[in-house]
A and B are shown apart, each in its own frame.
Chain A
Amino acid sequence: ILNVEQSPQSLHVQEGDSTNFTCSFPSSNFYALHWYRWETAKSPEALFVMTLNGDEKKKGRISATLNTKEGYSYLYIKGSQPEDSATYLCAHYGGSQGNLIFGKGTKLSVKP
């Protein structure tokens, strides 16, 4: 199993702050990098699927970048709102292992 690491493990910010977190993954045999948003007591919901080095994706105030050569992706949230409070998961697909390997997530708490 190839490891997917996310940092930080948790993050507390004030409403209006912009924030970002990191997903690191093996840079060899890269096929795709997924980001999911997971609210407490709900199920994970897809944010982005990124496949190309240099990819940038945006959805409202949330955006993500991808560097496949060095094996990392950043997720950015601009002007955090309390409703952004959730755990953000990334998952790597390297082809050979057959399926997505999930990181343990970054838990974001946004205080009003």
Chain B
Amino acid sequence: DAGITQSPRHKVTETGTPVTLRCHQTENHRYMYWYRQDPGHGLRLIHYSYGVKDTDKGEVSDGYSVSRSKTEDFLLTLESATSSQTSVYFCAISEWQGRETQYFGPGTRLLVL
């Protein structure tokens, strides 16, 4: 299994509070991704990174920011959590883009009350 961990694994928070999710990899892969999974929508890309300090938006980036200060860590921040951000968040990594397999972390279940 690819070495990907996510923390926390579960979180309950209140509307309006900031939340940061962490993805950590030990594979030295260049690309890292944040997805959210919601019923009826499948996996949707929030943001991705193609190197340290290099990030770009995905399909559903509004309300989220990311940072990557080290190869191994990719942080997802909800500046002011809303109930619509209640979801399961998956981090993924890949060596390159497109033709390379993505390896997924175990997921973080976030509930915003």
Which residues of A come within 8 Å of B, CB atoms?
1, 31-32, 34, 42-46, 49, 51, 89, 91, 93, 95, 98-100, 102-105
Contact = CB atoms under 8 A, between A and B. Distances in A.
Given A43-B107, A44-B43, A103-B42, A51 B97 contact: no
A91 B98 CA distance: 10
Contacts of B33: 99
Contacts, number: 51
B58 A34 contact: no
A104 B56 CA distance: 23
B101 A99 contact: no
A89 B102 CA distance: 13
B104 interface: yes
Contact of B42 (A34, A89, A99): A89
B90 interface: yes
B99 interface: yes
A89 B41 CA distance: 12
A26 to B, nearest CB: 14
23 contacts: A31-B98, A31-B99, A32-B98, A34-B101, A43-B104, A44-B104, A46-B101, A46-B102, A46-B103, A49-B99, A49-B100, A51-B99, A95-B98, A98-B48, A98-B56, A99-B45, A99-B97, A102-B42, A102-B44, A103-B42, A104-B40, A104-B42, A105-B42
Interface string B30-48: 0001000000111111001
A89 B44 CA distance: 12
B51 interface: no
Contacts of B45: 99-100
A102 B100 contact: no
